[in-house]
A and B are shown apart, each in its own frame.
Chain A
């Protein structure tokens, strides 16, 4: 039984259960009720496609489309462009990423000062990472300082980034996380979201919302009943209620 089936049946089951008062529900009872809940395959496929498309897995989406017959809600060709940008940032090629974004849609960076600042900030971080200190300082002075003048929070972030230069051992300094791969991923994700929004696509896939809903619903039901819970989302196994 696929993970998705279980999770979604869960959700439907719990919502039914919410009305009754706190009681103990055995696993047998629970599974019986689960079996009664009907979920359509098409809906599941759409969820999967939505996830693949939003996250940018072009080839997987293409293959999934061929194998399941599910149509994506966005042109797969535009995904490749977006993915190229995301990848460039993840590899630290920020200048390349900026050029690609501007080719895709020049308005994105022109109307999104925060995103533009973060990309420029990432460029600065990459310069510092590569030991190009003089260039980094010149870059900070010429490109980032004017932005800092216009905006208090930009200034603070700029100061944090420049402070990397003050430390001998960057891996242990308070702003060390800026050099971490996670910072690149954060910036990449921000660009990805902006491109999706500009294409009038929702920037978040539906699947996480569904899982959040499950967790919330379980928490609500916890106040009213003891029942087999899903505690590990990745396994989605039912764990017996505490007696």
Chain B
């Protein structure tokens, strides 16, 4: 009875035996090494650190040279080639550090040379090892556009040996990226070969072929239509058949291929029957305990994302119930956990019916649990899911989400080490802030507001802009006390520096925040005058050099709200409109009035309305200034503006100007 021989195989001892001159001893040592590392990631790492990979790669190189020099391949040499290739292949199997080591040791070209060896086992070992490398992102890029490379690829696909044709398919799946490459592969007749493998190949050939086809089809309607056009109806139907194959992995890959086709060319696979079938197959694949089940929710997401019709079909197929069922199971692999949460997020992203279903099943609590998971990807996915669900206006108005279970963990995520988690949490919070009751106290109480202000100072622009977004929603129609609290926490100098932030998205959100702060109450308008009118000045400067319409819109509405105040406020606004002109003859006001964006025109005209409102004593003077700057005549030209909002306000302005005796 053989015993476990741990003591005998001390790693360093094994490596020294590798260096033996005796071919038989070398083979034995290689075989032992191979058997130690296969299936054992810990051993792979420890041997890697001891420099096993360069050692084995060296042996491979020497033996190959021997074969070329002697022009023959005897038994021992073949064995050495097989065992060393197998060992290198195992180092590369599912282990990126191993792949990198194999590549760094220069073994790649030698493995390729093995494919030309007369011995079948040697070819197999080489092809396998190369396949393992090509399963990794670190694999060298294959240049399909060079003819000799394409010829080589074709010869691989033509081979009867599964490992070799599988290698060809892996190369395509890994390296084919651009439209040009996809077209080149199509032109070389590769698609026909691959669909041949679909119909007549073995299980692994079919799977490999499905992956390659999906890679060639991705985002390329032209190639798809050539492939699946009316003359060649068969290939598409063989993929559809494989979606119902007995092997789960084949079903998954076939569905993924069909989804790629549909996403690139929506006029294919229109039939409701087929769409429903794919949904059912993917939901059923969730039951698979292994990797197939982990990947199924991602495929499901790629099918339904942004597509209301498919979300509706999926809802009818009880997708939310099924996803919920799997979520309940607990102790999920992180990849699967993340996938299910994102699938739920996609389901609830647009349709209220889906969100109602989600909430009625009490899935919310499970998602809240995921907020504290130790895996960052899971936490992010949970936040994204909440962001989708909290789009439900009905439930927001009822204050359904403003509770401890959700808000407190979300606020804690503001301090998460991962930026993507922070941004995702901010997204969810922004929605929750749109709370039409004024019960925002929980949020403020747990320090949420202070955290948001801290995040507004983050180094990451995405975090700054999302934090401002959340604050903007927080103060929307909020009571004065809350608004003042936010302002004093922010301070005028921070707010004005955010208005002048280098990032346009941050500028936009900062201006929108000011707009919401000063909206509604005269006392709050005073805020923009704090510290010598810092904020007002910042707004004016930013409007002068606004890089996109959205910035102009928010800034003008902010000024508009200020101009709804008293005489002092109106004078200050009109001064901003003109003092920023500098060398330019034209105020940015004219530029905005002539903008293509109707919202920008509306906001600008509204501001003019407030500035020229007849009940205030300084109106005539301001009107004069506006007239002198050509703004009133510009407005006169807009009497028939295509946008109704603009048209109505233009008429208001003109009506107001006539009240002061216009010509």
> Which one, B37-45, B50-58, B213-221, B422-430, is touching chain A?
B37-45
* Residues 2 to 43 of chain B near chain A (Cβ within 8 Å): 2-6, 31, 34-35, 38-42
Chain A residues within an 8 Å CB radius of B93: 107, 110-111
Most A CB within 10 A of own CB, among B40, B41, B89, B203: B40
Chain B residues within an 8 Å CB radius of A176: none
Question: Is B71 in the interface zone, CB < 8 Å from A?
Answer: no
Contact B4 A113 (CB under 8 A): no
* Residues 96 to 111 of chain A near chain B (Cβ within 8 Å): 96, 98-99, 102, 106-107, 109-111
In the complex, how many angstroms separate the beta carbon of A161 from the nearest chain B beta carbon? 14
Contact B94 A106 (CB under 8 A): no
Of all A-B residue pairs in the complex, the 4 with the closest CB atoms, nearest first, are A116-B39, A200-B202, A109-B39, A200-B203
A110/B94 contact (C-beta < 8 A), A99-B31, A102-B35, A200-B204 known: yes
In the complex, how many angstroms separate the beta carbon of A142 from the nearest chain B beta carbon? 6
Question: Is B379 in the interface zone, CB < 8 Å from A?
Answer: no
- Distance of A126 Cα from B2 Cα, bound (Å): 9
Q: List 30 A-B contacts (CB under 8 A).
A: A92-B1, A93-B1, A93-B2, A96-B2, A98-B35, A99-B35, A102-B35, A102-B38, A106-B34, A106-B89, A106-B128, A109-B39, A110-B38, A113-B39, A116-B39, A116-B40, A123-B4, A130-B3, A132-B3, A132-B4, A136-B4, A138-B6, A139-B4, A139-B6, A143-B4, A146-B41, A146-B42, A150-B41, A152-B331, A197-B203
Question: Is B542 in the interface zone, CB < 8 Å from A?
Answer: no
In the complex, how many angstroms separate the beta carbon of A164 from the nearest chain B beta carbon? 15
Q: Which residue of chain B has its CB nearest to the CB of A199?
A: B202
Chain A residues within an 8 Å CB radius of B39: 109-110, 112-113, 116
Contact B3 A135 (CB under 8 A): yes
Chain A residues within an 8 Å CB radius of B612: none
Contact A109 B4 (CB under 8 A): no
Chain B residues within an 8 Å CB radius of A59: none
A95, A107, A112, A132: which contacts B128 (Cβ < 8 A)? A107
Q: Which residue of chain A has its CB nearest to the CB of B31?
A: A99
- Distance of A139 Cα from B34 Cα, bound (Å): 18
Contact B1 A130 (CB under 8 A): yes
Question: Is B90 in the interface zone, CB < 8 Å from A?
Answer: yes
Q: Which residues of B contact A (CB under 8 A)?
A: 1-6, 31, 34-35, 38-42, 86, 89-90, 93-94, 128, 162, 202-204, 331
Question: Is A127 in the interface zone, CB < 8 Å from B?
Answer: yes
Q: Which residues of A contact B (CB under 8 A)?
A: 92-93, 95-96, 98-99, 102, 106-107, 109-113, 116, 123, 126-127, 130, 132, 135-136, 138-139, 142-143, 146, 150, 152, 197, 200
Chain A residues within an 8 Å CB radius of B204: 200
Q: Which residue of chain A has its CB nearest to the CB of B205?
A: A200
Contact B94 A127 (CB under 8 A): no
- Chain A at the B interface: mostly helix, strand, loop or mixed? helix
- Distance of A99 Cα from B30 Cα, bound (Å): 12
Q: Which residue of chain B has its CB nearest to the CB of A123?
A: B4
Chain A residues within an 8 Å CB radius of B38: 102, 106, 109-110, 116
Contact A142 B6 (CB under 8 A): yes
A102, A111, A197: which contacts B94 (Cβ < 8 A)? A111
Q: Which residue of chain B has its CB nearest to the CB of A116?
A: B39
Q: Which residue of chain A has its CB nearest to the CB of B289?
A: A114
- Distance of A157 Cα from B556 Cα, bound (Å): 67
Chain B residues within an 8 Å CB radius of A113: 39
B5, B40, B86: which contacts A106 (Cβ < 8 A)? B86
Chain A residues within an 8 Å CB radius of B35: 98-99, 102
- Distance of A123 Cα from B35 Cα, bound (Å): 14
A102/B6 contact (C-beta < 8 A), A109-B39, A110-B39, A146-B42 known: no
Chain B residues within an 8 Å CB radius of A152: 331
- Distance of A86 Cα from B42 Cα, bound (Å): 27
In the complex, how many angstroms separate the beta carbon of A118 from the nearest chain B beta carbon? 11
- Distance of A150 Cα from B4 Cα, bound (Å): 22
- Distance of A111 Cα from B38 Cα, bound (Å): 9
Q: Which residue of chain A has its CB nearest to the CB of B91?
A: A110
Contact B34 A102 (CB under 8 A): yes
- Distance of A112 Cα from B3 Cα, bound (Å): 24
In the complex, how many angstroms separate the beta carbon of A125 from the nearest chain B beta carbon? 11
Contact A126 B1 (CB under 8 A): yes
In the complex, how many angstroms separate the beta carbon of A111 from the nearest chain B beta carbon? 7
- Distance of A112 Cα from B86 Cα, bound (Å): 16
Contact B202 A135 (CB under 8 A): no
Q: Which residue of chain B has its CB nearest to the CB of A202?
A: B246
- Distance of A98 Cα from B31 Cα, bound (Å): 12
Q: Which residue of chain B has its CB nearest to the CB of A103?
A: B31
B4, B86, B203: which contacts A127 (Cβ < 8 A)? B4
A135/B90 contact (C-beta < 8 A), A99-B35, A102-B38, A143-B40 known: no
- Distance of A93 Cα from B93 Cα, bound (Å): 26
A98, A99, A106, A127: which contacts B90 (Cβ < 8 A)? A106
- Distance of A138 Cα from B86 Cα, bound (Å): 27
Contact B86 A102 (CB under 8 A): yes
Beyond contacts A92-B1, A99-B31, A126-B1: 18 other A-B pairs, Cβ-Cβ < 8 A, are A95-B5, A102-B34, A102-B86, A106-B38, A109-B39, A110-B38, A110-B94, A111-B93, A111-B94, A113-B39, A127-B3, A130-B1, A132-B3, A143-B40, A146-B41, A146-B42, A197-B203, A200-B162
- Distance of A106 Cα from B128 Cα, bound (Å): 9
In the complex, how many angstroms separate the beta carbon of B475 from the nearest chain A beta carbon? 46
- Distance of A88 Cα from B93 Cα, bound (Å): 26
In the complex, how many angstroms separate the beta carbon of B8 from the nearest chain A beta carbon? 11
In the complex, how many angstroms separate the beta carbon of B135 from the nearest chain A beta carbon? 10
- Distance of A231 Cα from B109 Cα, bound (Å): 64
Chain A residues within an 8 Å CB radius of B128: 106-107
Chain B residues within an 8 Å CB radius of A109: 38-39
Chain B residues within an 8 Å CB radius of A146: 40-42
Contact B34 A95 (CB under 8 A): no
Chain A residues within an 8 Å CB radius of B34: 102, 106
Q: Which residue of chain B has its CB nearest to the CB of A124?
A: B4
- Distance of A169 Cα from B6 Cα, bound (Å): 28
- Distance of A151 Cα from B93 Cα, bound (Å): 19
- Distance of A96 Cα from B34 Cα, bound (Å): 14
- Distance of A27 Cα from B497 Cα, bound (Å): 97
- Distance of A225 Cα from B285 Cα, bound (Å): 38
In the complex, how many angstroms separate the beta carbon of A24 from the nearest chain B beta carbon? 39
Most A CB within 10 A of own CB, among B2, B4, B5, B90: B4
- Distance of A187 Cα from B246 Cα, bound (Å): 24
Q: Which residue of chain B has its CB nearest to the CB of A101?
A: B38
Chain B residues within an 8 Å CB radius of A138: 4, 6
